């Protein structure tokens, strides 16, 4: 076994690998760029080596710097994580020349499966179902248009070396191909150093299912069941779960055996994932097609670990060291259900625009929920077991994989992921319920985040039914995300909480300087407005009523506090009774009350003393200025392309500019018919948020 390994990656996956290595008694080396000098993974490793400036192209993507760090520290092996150099044959070959083990598959397998075009050819030769499409070199946009017409719309354009949702565009017609083909080429070149593109038929009502495989260097290969990854946005996975609510035991076996056969055909070992597209229109579940094989660890690997008890990172290390797998296919079972949500730095209320900046506050739910450590291990089977945290309410556990810390910065140079939230429970509904509670407990301030959106998905009736496709988000949120639906149960709790904290804030004002007059009162009468409806809230010494009905809640609040935990009890509950429900509520003071966020919904809550409420109609409301004549940059980024010039007439939906942020290109379009009056920024300019790109007349 190795005594020291280097992690050729950053962020949460670097932390994840370091923790497993430490449990195995292996020393670790981190490499870091300027932007990551104070990152948690650097502090967590036993040693750390600086490898260059912040851009990945000048640090994490330079193999020579990684190898030099290995030689400098005496690391015997390197784990690439995912992304960056994880699927570069040149990196694995360079390590081998220096006598350093690559903790991953053999070079020939990376070459065979890492190229999306060549892998489809091999899969077809091996008798694996592949999606109809054009497998070969595409010369230019005109060639792409001809190919797309021959295949039949809709089609998917993909960068050959792509992954992680980058370098992908869905085209429903010729216009979409002409607009998107060059963007796909640029994203492929910028992110993976390869601008080749292939085009394939887009399967309607598709589900994205993937099979986790694991092999050793002695010819043993197993599959560790499937993951459902259908909920995606811009082809970037958002929610993953294991097992899939769609896959039957017969289908699982057919998929697994086919994927193992494909892996065996290329001499595969280590961890890998075969991605499949499944037609949801086929009730038999037999219409599944090979998409690609990722010759690395996947972002969503924790859900597989949760239901199988196999630590995939440990197995990768043991396989690289020459050990045999300690278990066979018959030993792999399915225990319970696991769900993973990706917490991103993006604003779902503003079209999911990327958000960067300092994490003024970051507290993951495991700290808030006061969960005890839990380690599941099997001494007879090396490599089984993962470190997690028990759910405070029992019946499952919460795991948070992250690589950030309070005070750190979400940088524009890397992926916008803040954390991965994984829950496990005996059933799917219980795992989803645990996700809702854990998401409510996240405390994130600074950059925007998608916690509310994830919570809304976990509560959505269609998600709960398991009727998923890759179009879930576009179909269920066609006009964007505006918050989760709220029931009367939650509204009553929010009204009671609003009255309670308004009373506490009023009492504080009285204590400071007596500005409200009179002695401190034990309660008060308030009018609380939520979603345009008014509710009468009355607080007495030992009771709260909302619209005349008693609401029994327990909370601790200090004026100025930004987060409260609330327990709801039955009206006749005794001292030893457990709460009926729990809520984590984020608070922001406003001019007339509070902005209260819980369970995926953000509420503007107006709170007025009951005797003042009748005067509210006379309050003056500030009307926001009209900015529709400006094309404003919605996020920090690079102006890649201007599609128009001064004096050009534009129509609604027409592309005006393309801005690259966090490795993704975003096309900004005209919202109405107009004429371009003035252009304020040039191609290649670095733009800040809200910077005016051009003005319309």
**Which residue numbers are catalytic?**
292
Number of H helices, E strands in the chain: 17, 44
| Closest of 54, 175, 142 to residue 667, by C-alpha | 175
Q: What is the largest CA-CA distance in the chain?
A: 86
CA nearest 311: which of 375, 241, 234, 226? 375
Q: Which residues pair with 390 in a beta bridge?
A: 397
Residue 138 near residue 158 (C-beta atoms within 8 A): no
Rounded to whole angstroms, how far apart are CA atoms 550 and 492?
10
Tokens 């393309």 identify what position? 658
Helix, strand, coil percentages, rounded to 5, for the chain: 30, 30, 40
Query: What string of DSSP letters covers 380-440?
Result: TSTTB--EEEE-TTSSSEEEEEE---TT-EE-TTS--EEEEEEEEESSHHHHHHHHHHHHH
Number of other residues whose CB lies within 10 A of the CB of residue 89:
17
| Closest C-alpha among 361, 367, 365, 385 to residue 375 | 385
Helix (H) or strand (E) holding 12: helix 11-23
What one-character DSSP code corresponds to residue 56? Answer: G
d(CA 37, CA 50): 8
* Contact indicator for 421, 435 with CB cutoff of 8 Å: yes
- Tokens 């730095």 belong to 345
CA dihedral 674, 676, 679, 681 (to 10 degrees): 50
Show the CA angle centred on residue 140, arms to residues 138 and 141, nearest 5°.
110
Kindly give the pairing relationship between strand 166-171 and strand 155-163: antiparallel
Q: What span, in angstroms and rounded, lies between the C-alpha atoms of 542 and 554?
A: 11
Helix axes 89-97, 63-73, angle to 10 degrees: 30
- For residue 310, what is the DSSP state? B
d(CA 422, CA 132): 35
Q: In angstroms, what CA-CA distances link 283 with 227, 257, 291, 383?
A: 19, 21, 20, 37
Strand 47-52 and strand 27-33: pairing? Answer: parallel
- CB of 213 within 8 A of CB of 260? yes
Say which residues have a Cβ less than 8 Å from residue 620's Cβ, sequence separation at least 6.
none
Sequential DSSP letters for 349-392: GGTTEE--EE-SEEE-HHHHTTPPEEE---TTSTTB--EEEE-T
Which residue has 């600086």 as its token pair? Answer: 50
Chain centre to alpha carbon of residue 429: 20
Contact 649, 675 (CB under 8 A): yes
d(CA 31, CA 52): 9
3 state SS for 196-223: CEEEEECCCCEEEEEEEEEECCCCCEEE
355 neighbors 416 (Cβ within 8 angstroms): yes
């Amino acid at each position: 076994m190795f005594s020291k390994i280097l992690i050729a990656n950053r962020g949460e996956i670097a932390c994840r690998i370091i923790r497993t290595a430490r449990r195995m008694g292996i020393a670790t080396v981190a490499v870091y760029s300027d932007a990551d000098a104070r990152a948690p993974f650097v502090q967590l490793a036993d040693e750390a080596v600086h490898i260059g400036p912040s851009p990945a192209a000048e640090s994490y993507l330079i193999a020579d710097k990684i190898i030099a760090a290995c030689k400098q520290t005496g690391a015997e092996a390197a784990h690439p994580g995912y992304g960056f150099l994880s699927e570069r044959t040149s990196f694995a070959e360079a390590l081998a020349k220096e006598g350093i083990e690559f903790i991953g598959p053999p070079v020939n397998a990376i070459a065979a499966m890492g190229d999306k075009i060549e892998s489809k050819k091999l899969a077809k030769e091996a008798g694996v179902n592949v999606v109809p499409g054009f497998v070969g070199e595409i010369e230019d946009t005109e060639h792409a248009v001809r190919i797309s017409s021959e295949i039949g719309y809709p089609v998917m354009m993909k960068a050959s070396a792509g992954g992680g949702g980058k370098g992908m565009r869905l085209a429903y017609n010729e216009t979409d191909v002409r607009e998107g083909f060059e963007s796909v080429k640029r994203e492929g070149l910028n992110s993976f150093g390869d601008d080749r593109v292939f085009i394939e038929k887009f399967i309607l009502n598709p589900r994205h299912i993937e099979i986790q495989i694991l092999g050793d260097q002695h010819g043993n290969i197993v599959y560790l069941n499937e993951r459902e990854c259908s909920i995606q946005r811009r082809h970037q996975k958002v929610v993953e779960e294991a097992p899939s609510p769609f896959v039957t035991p017969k289908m699982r076996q057919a998929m697994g055996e086919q994927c193992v056969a494909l892996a065996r055909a290329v001499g595969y070992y280590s961890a890998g994932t075969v991605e499949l597209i499944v037609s949801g229109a086929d009730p038999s579940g037999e219409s599944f097609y090979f998409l690609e094989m990722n010759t690395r660890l996947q972002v969503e690997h924790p859900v597989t670990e949760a239901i199988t008890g196999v630590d995939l990172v440990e197995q990768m290390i043991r396989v690289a060291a020459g050990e045999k797998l300690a278990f066979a296919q018959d030993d792999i079972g399915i225990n319970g259900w696991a769900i993973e949500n990706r917490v991103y730095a993006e604003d779902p209320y503003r079209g999911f625009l990327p958000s960067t900046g300092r994490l003024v506050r970051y507290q993951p739910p495991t700290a808030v929920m006061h969960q005890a450590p839990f380690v599941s291990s099997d001494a007879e089977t090396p490599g089984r077991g993962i470190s997690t945290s028990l759910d405070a309410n029992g019946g499952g556990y919460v795991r948070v994989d992250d690589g950030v810390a309070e005070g750190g910065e979400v940088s524009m140079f890397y992926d916008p992921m803040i954390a991965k939230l994984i829950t496990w429970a005996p059933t799917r509904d219980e795992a989803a319920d645990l996700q809702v509670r854990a998401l409510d407990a996240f405390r994130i301030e600074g950059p925007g985040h998608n916690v509310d959106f994830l919570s809304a998905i976990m509560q959505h009736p269609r998600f709960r039914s398991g009727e998923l496709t890759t179009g879930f988000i576009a179909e269920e949120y066609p006009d964007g995300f505006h918050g989760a639906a709220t029931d009367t149960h939650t509204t009553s709790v929010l009204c009671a909480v609003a009255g309670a904290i308004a009373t506490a804030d009023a009492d504080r004002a009285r204590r400071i300087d007596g500005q409200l007059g009179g002695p401190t009162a034990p309660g008060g009468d308030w009018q609380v407005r939520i979603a345009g409806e008014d509710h009468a809230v009355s607080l007495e010494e030992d009771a709260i009523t909302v619209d005349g009905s008693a609401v029994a809640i327990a909370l601790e609040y200090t004026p100025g506090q930004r987060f409260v935990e609330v327990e709801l009890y039955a009206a006749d509950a005794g001292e030893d009774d457990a709460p009926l429900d729990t809520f984590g509520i984020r608070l922001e003071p406003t001019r007339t009350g509070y902005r209260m966020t819980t369970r995926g919904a953000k509420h503007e809550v107006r709170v007025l003393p009951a005797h003042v409420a009748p005067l509210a109609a006379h309050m003056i409301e500030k009307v926001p200025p009209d900015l529709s004549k400006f094309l404003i940059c919605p996020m920090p980024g690079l102006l890649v392309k201007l599609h128009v010039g001064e004096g050009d007439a534009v129509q609604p939906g027409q592309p005006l500019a393309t801005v690259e942020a966090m490795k993704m290109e975003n096309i900004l379009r005209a919202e109405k018919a107009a004429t371009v009056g003035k252009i304020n920024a040039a191609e290649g300019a670095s733009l800040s948020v809200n910077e005016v790109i051009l003005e319309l007349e």
